[in-house]
Amino acid sequence: MNWIKNNRVKLRTKRTFLKQGTCSRTFFHILNREYGHPKPLEENAADPLAGGIVQMGYQCGMLWGAAMGVGAEAYRRFDKRDKAIGMSIVATQHILKSFKDFAKSDNCSEITDTDWSKNFSILKYMIRGKMVTCFRLAGNWAPHAIQAANDGLDSDQSGLPEQPISCASEVVKRLGGSDEEMAMVAGFAGGYGLSGNACGALSAAIWMNTLARVRNNSYKYSLSDTEFEKILKSFYEVTDYTMECSDICGQHFNSVTEHSEFVKKGGCSRLLDALTKSVYPK
pLDDT at 119: 78
What does R_g of the chain's alpha carbons equal in angstroms?
17
Residue 83 dihedral angles phi and psi, to the nearest 5°: -65, -40
Cite the DSSP H helix spans in 154-254. 167-174, 179-185, 200-215, 226-239, 245-249
On whether the CB atoms of residues 153 and 87 are closer than 8 A, the answer is: yes
| Averaged pLDDT, 175-197 | 98
**pLDDT at site 52:** 96
Identify the residue with better confidence: 155 or 131. 155
User: Does residue 238 have a pLDDT over 70?
Assistant: yes
Confidence (pLDDT) at 282 = 54
Q: What is the pLDDT of residue 280?
A: 80
What's the pLDDT at 208? 98
b/e per residue, 143-159, with b = 16+ CB within 10 A?
Answer: bbbbbbbbebbeeeeee
Instruction: Report, as an integer, the average pLDDT of 221-247.
Output: 95
pLDDT in the model for residue 129: 67
Task: Choose the weakest-confidence range: 77-86, 120-129, 137-146, 156-165.
Answer: 120-129
Q: Are 252 and 72 in contact (CB under 8 A)?
A: no
Can you tell me the mean pLDDT for 10-37?
Answer: 96
Integer Cα distance of 102 and 68 in angstroms: 20
pTM for this entry: 0.95
pLDDT digits (tens, 9 = 90+) for 111-121: 998 887 777 78
Q: Are 234 and 274 in contact (CB under 8 A)?
A: yes
What angle separates helix 81-103 from helix 61-77, to the nearest 10 degrees?
150
pLDDT for the residue numbered 59: 98
pLDDT for residue 193 is more than 60: yes
3-state secondary structure of 244: strand
Average of pLDDT values for 89-99? Answer: 99
Q: How far apart are alpha carbons 220 and 10 in whole angstroms?
A: 28
Q: Which residues contact 67 (CB under 8 A, 6 or more apart)?
A: 88, 92, 95, 185, 187, 188, 192, 193
Q: Which of 106-115, 167-176, 179-188, 259-268 has the lowest mean pLDDT?
A: 106-115
Give the Cα separation of 172 and 26 in Å (integer). 22
Task: Compute the 3-state secondary structure of the chain and give helix, strand, coil in percent, each to the nearest 5.
Answer: 65, 0, 30
Gap between the Cα atoms of 70 and 86, Å rounded: 12
In this predicted model, what pLDDT tens digit does every residue of 243-278 receive, in sequence order?
A: 999 999 999 999 999 999 999 999 999 999 999 999
What residue ranges do the domains of the chain occupy? Answer: 3-279
